[in-house]
Structure 1
Amino acid sequence: MMYAFQWLRSLIFIVLMYVMMLVLGIVFFPWAVFSRRGALAACKAYCKWVRWSARWMVGLRTEVRGTVPTDEVLIAAKHQSFLDIILIFGAVPAGKFIMKRELMYAPIIGQYALRIGCVPVNRGKRSAAIRKMVSDVARGAQEPGQLIIYSQGTRIAPGVKAPYKVGSSVLYQELGQDCVPAATNVGVFWPRRGIYRKPGLAVVEFLPRIPAGERKDTFMARLEREVETASDALLREAGFQLEGSNDGMG
């Protein structure tokens, strides 16, 4: 009975989430057309609404930990669901994502993503995609902000291991900027797929930055170690039982 009630609350929340996306997209459109600031303001307002409504509609609280980067850095983050996008973008002053090309054609999301400076990437052709990504990032460098990349390339369910892609190290070297790793446990409460949203505390944590200038292999090893270690700690905090662990609730 309780599960069914929470599922219904989750469904209503999701429906309203997309309704509000449409409403804010239309309201901010005239400003967003002429100014990137307008597009950023629309996306920020949406992030605030999602966090606020998730708290009272489905009992899902959210928290951003660590030092939020405000300068021009590369943010290399763990990706578990749409919620970590909301938390990271809502926290930084001017975020822009490396995103899959298909999202360009999504109503509202695609148009606003391009307006704030997101870089679409064709994931099917690795070497060509990396070259174009570097070129597009260089072209968009005049738009200041925090470039966000999901190092594993896609959403990864909690507890599942997946390789870290080379794109993070390529951008780290090309940009010559510090990298701020980001860990999360949001997938425990807001899964990759499905309707059910679980009550609890979902966290994104910004970790200590990796200074510019590290070697590629050193950088990638450190990035993966720090993000995975911190994400595993957040999963345990959320009561998720990792494989081979005796603690947690599952």
Structure 2
Amino acid sequence: MSHAVQWVRSLIFVVNIYAMMGIMGIVFFPWAVISRRGALTACHTWCRWVRWTARWMVGLRTEVRGTPPADEVLIAAKHQSFLDIILIFGAVPAGKFIMKRELMWAPVIGQYALKIGCVPVDRGKRSQAIKRMVTDVAKGRQQPGQLIIYPQGTRIAPGVKAPYKVGTGVLYEELGQDCVPVAANVGVFWPRKGIMRKPGTAVVEFLPRIPAGRSRPEFMAQLEDEVETASVRLMKEAGFDPEG
């Protein structure tokens, strides 16, 4: 019975966050159209709404550990569900993503994504996007902020192994910026797919930055070791043993 009740609460919560995404998107839209600050304020406000309602609707507390960066850096994060996107973006002042080009045409969402500085990418042409972004940074055309990427390329369920893709190393090398690794256990409570949200404490943790200038193989090895080790620790803290 308790499982059924939690599922219903989870359904109400999911409807709530997407409904509020639409409402806030429309309310903030006039400001967002003329100002990047307006777009960032709208997105940060929605992230706070999700965290607040998760706590009392489904019993899911959220915690951000470590020191979120405020300067222009690369953030390379563990990606387990939509929740880590919300927590990481909400913790930094000017987060941006590499996004699928199709999202540009999504009503409201596409306009917000472009305004906060997201970089649209054609499917299968990520390398071209990286080159263009490096050029834009060098020429001062790229919006300053924190570029958030996911080295494994997609959402990975807790306990599942997946390789770290070399594109992260290329970005680190070409941009010449420090990289801040981020670990997470959020998939234990908020899965990749489905409605169910479990009570507990979901955590993302900003780890010590990796300075610019490392070789690509050295950087990739350090990144994977630090993110995976910390993520395993957080998942065990949440009562899930990915090595068991």
Question: TM-score, normalised on structure 2?
Answer: 0.94
1:121·1:133 contact (CA, 8 Å) conserved in 2? no
Which AA in structure 1 matches 2:234?
Answer: L
What is the aligned partner in structure 1 of residue 215 from structure 2? 215
1:119·1:136 contact (CA, 8 Å) conserved in 2? no
| Compared CA separation, residues 81 and 105, structure 1 to 2 (3 A) | farther
What is the aligned partner in structure 2 of residue 171 from structure 1? 171
State the 1:184 CA deviation: 0.4
What is the aligned partner in structure 1 of residue 51 from structure 2? 51
State the 1:138 CA deviation: 5.2
State the 1:207 CA deviation: 0.3
Structure 2 gap segments, 5+ residues each: none
State the 1:140 CA deviation: 6.9
State the 1:127 CA deviation: 4.1
1:63 alignment partner, SS class:
strand
Q: What aligned pairs does 1:139-154 form with structure 2 within 5 A after superposition? A: 142-154=142-154
Alignment coverage as a number of residue pairs = 244
What is the aligned partner in structure 1 of residue 238 from structure 2? 238
What is the aligned partner in structure 2 of residue 29 from structure 1? 29
State the 1:228 CA deviation: 0.6
State the 1:168 CA deviation: 1.1
Deviations 1:190-221 (A, max 9, x none): 11110000000000000000001000000001
State the 1:101 CA deviation: 2.8
2:157 alignment partner, SS class:
coil
Question: TM-score, normalised on structure 1?
Answer: 0.92
State the 1:34 CA deviation: 0.3
1:162 aligns with 2:171: no
Residue identity over aligned pairs, in percent, reads 78
Q: What aligned pairs does 1:175-214 form with structure 2 within 5 A after superposition? A: 175-214=175-214
State the 1:103 CA deviation: 2.9
1:80·1:186 contact (CA, 8 Å) conserved in 2? yes
Residues of 1 paired with 2:156 and 2:138: CA distance?
28
What is the aligned partner in structure 1 of residue 42 from structure 2? 42
1:72 alignment partner, SS class:
coil
1:64 alignment partner, SS class:
strand
What is the aligned partner in structure 2 of residue 105 from structure 1? 105
State the 1:130 CA deviation: 4.1
